Amino acid sequence: MTERNDGDLPDGLSAAELGMWQSFRNGTTYDLRARDGARDDPFAPYPWGPERSVAARVVARLLLSGPGARPGRVTALKLRGVLITGKLDLAGGRVDPYVELTGCRFEEEVVLPECHFTTLRMVGCAIPRLEAARLRTEGDLHLPRCRVERGIRLTDAQIGTDLLINQIDIGPDRQGRALIGDGLAVAQDLQAEMIETLGELSLRGTKVGGSLSLRGSRLRAAQGRRALNAPQLSVERTLYMSEAWVSVDTGNQGTTPPFGIVTSPTPAHGTRAQAFRCRGGVRLDDGRFGDAVDLHKAVFVLAAHEELSLRRIVAPELRFNPERPARGRVVLNGAKVVTLIDVSTSWPGPGGLAMGGFVYENLVPYGHFPLSRRLEWVAAATPEYVPEPYERLAAVLRGSGEDADAREVLLAKQRRRRETLPPAAKLWGYLQDWTVAYGYRPGRAAVWMAVLWAAGTLAFSRHEPAAIKGGEHPQWNAALYALDLLIPVINLGQDGYWRLQGGWQWASAVLVLLGWILATTVAAGASRMLRRG
């Protein structure tokens, strides 16, 4: 099979194989359909007889060393409604003709390791298994609407343009993996919209030059496996794990909203929204995404020990508004995003969220996300007190001009910290909170200063102390004297001229100490307001 046959027909070809041979030389479609919807369905139980069957060895001979094209034609293998018997083994070969198989059945697995294609399209075909490790295509690899019973292997494959597997249905292999694409490289887009998998979708170290779309797909893990295992995934643009719009009548894919975000409350007429649904763990650790990770209205069904793991991902934007997972954990430890777009109802409760070292620079909620809910979000991620999430949230709020909210976050941090202190320090913390709110509410300190000034004025108005120097003192003024004690640094001309004894001396000392504490708190609040201005 190494020398090209220029037209001599091999012996022993069946009528169906002879017709395929001639169609190959003409570059035309060889159609063996019965024109009956049920009998032409490659997934239906109806048998296809010899009149619709060709041997895999004849197909391999055409593709690897087939005859030349007729004058003015280009060779191509285009089959429709054909049963390919035996194992189609093209391992290590180079296939130059264009290949397009539509609605065909394969009797045994398709073996394509280290095979080199220009373009390969198999549309709506029934395939027991596809082995294509280190496959290389100069153009597209299309497998839409196919059904593969025992999994697909695309380990270290290189796709020259697009990989399209929309609406494919893949079962598990012996190890519980549906599609193994570890080390896969796709030059442009990887479209896997509305696919259904039973078994792990493994994309470890996969590189996608455009976007990776899993819109409307349904992934189910096999026993002991994750539903999606894609650490170190690299996507130059956006990873979509969001909803797709499909036809109400046919269930086929319709128009997908731009960027995965539905702007209208209901789908377009004649369509419905199908959410991305994942039953089993998801691992996207150490992923790099050029534009965004979009989880718009996704559904994650996790067991108690399973995770939606986004550890150490890097992305300009994370759109986190899936349905709240009832069990399992969402893990964002070490992740770095510029903008976090989220919904308050999407985040899990206490014990279901971890985000140690999670760095974000902007917060853009989809809807109403009050500060109280944001504080619950941080508390859910810190079953034990950790200051970093509070400080990160406060820094982001302060950077967006929400200085008052930032102070509330830092106050909440001090209150969480107080619960970890010994009894004496905890009591002192309660006193600080009750009096000056740890200094984060300077208005309360000003109120206390006013109260102390009024109390001091009332007390000193009933006692006029003797002067230290008989002829060198101003006229006694109880209000100014109390204010002079309360306000440090500033001299109002009363302090230092009067001799206080006994309890009055202790009262003045208390006013001086409290004045320093309260005035410092007020000054700090004023300086923050000036900086904000």
As a whole number of angstroms, the distance between CA 311 and CA 491 comes to 58
3-class secondary structure per residue, 370-439? CHHHHHHHHHHHCCCCCHHHHHHHHHHHHHCCCHHHHHHHHHHHHHHHHCCCCHHHHHHHHHHHHHHHHH
3 confidence band (pLDDT: 50, 70, 90): very low
- Sign of the C-alpha dihedral computed for residues 506, 507, 512 and 516 taken in this order: positive
pLDDT computed for residue 470 by the predictor: 65
- What is the percent of the chain with per-residue pLDDT over 70, rounded to a whole number? 82
Asked whether 139 and 115 are in contact (CB, 8 A), the reply is no
pLDDT computed for residue 522 by the predictor: 62
Instruction: Determine the length of the chain.
Output: 533
Query: Is the model's pLDDT at 256 over the cut of 90?
Result: no
- Dump pLDDT digits (tens) for 287-315: 999 999 999 999 999 999 999 999 999 99
pLDDT (average), residues 121-138? 97
- Over the chain, what is the mean pLDDT? 86
Tokens 């982001």 map to which residue?
396
Q: Is 425 helix (H, G, I), strand (E, B) or coil?
A: helix
- What is the percent of the chain with per-residue pLDDT over 90, rounded to a whole number? 63
141 confidence band (pLDDT: 50, 70, 90): very high
Minimum mean pLDDT range among 165-174, 279-288, 314-323, 449-458 = 449-458
Higher pLDDT, 384 or 168: 168
Query: Is the model's pLDDT at 133 over the cut of 90?
Result: yes
512 confidence band (pLDDT: 50, 70, 90): confident
pLDDT computed for residue 527 by the predictor: 58
pLDDT computed for residue 4 by the predictor: 45
- Dump pLDDT digits (tens) for 449-476: 777 778 777 776 777 776 667 666 676 6
Which residues, at least 6 apart from 269, have a Cβ–Cβ distance to it below 8 Å? none
Query: Is the model's pLDDT at 125 over the cut of 50?
Result: yes
Q: Which of 10, 31, 8, 7 is nearest to 19 (CA)?
A: 31
Say how many C-beta atoms besides its own lie within 10 A of residue 125's C-beta.
26
Minimum mean pLDDT range among 56-70, 138-152, 445-459 = 445-459
Query: Is the model's pLDDT at 71 over the cut of 50?
Result: yes
Tokens 């406060």 map to which residue?
394
Minimum mean pLDDT range among 172-186, 352-366, 378-392, 422-436 = 422-436
264 confidence band (pLDDT: 50, 70, 90): very low
251 confidence band (pLDDT: 50, 70, 90): low
Query: Is the model's pLDDT at 386 over the cut of 70?
Result: yes
pLDDT (average), residues 346-351? 92
As a whole number of angstroms, the distance between CA 11 and CA 148 comes to 33
Number of H helices, E strands in the chain: 10, 46
Higher pLDDT, 83 or 8: 83
Q: Is 175 helix (H, G, I), strand (E, B) or coil?
A: coil
Q: Which of 416, 406, 434, 439 is nearest to 519 (CA)?
A: 439
152 confidence band (pLDDT: 50, 70, 90): very high
As a whole number of angstroms, the distance between CA 94 and CA 63 comes to 8
Beta-bridge mates of residue 169: 147, 196
pLDDT computed for residue 153 by the predictor: 97
- Dump pLDDT digits (tens) for 72-121: 999 999 999 999 999 999 999 999 999 999 999 999 999 999 999 999 99
Higher pLDDT, 354 or 252: 354
Query: Is the model's pLDDT at 493 over the cut of 70?
Result: no
pLDDT (average), residues 340-348? 94
Query: Is the model's pLDDT at 517 over the cut of 60?
Result: yes
435 confidence band (pLDDT: 50, 70, 90): low
pLDDT computed for residue 21 by the predictor: 95
Beta-bridge mates of residue 185: 158, 207
pLDDT computed for residue 533 by the predictor: 42
Q: Which of 388, 297, 311 is nearest to 343 (CA)?
A: 297
Using CA atoms, how far residue 415 sits from 138, 409, 419, in Å, is 61, 10, 7
239 confidence band (pLDDT: 50, 70, 90): very high
Q: Is 508 helix (H, G, I), strand (E, B) or coil?
A: helix
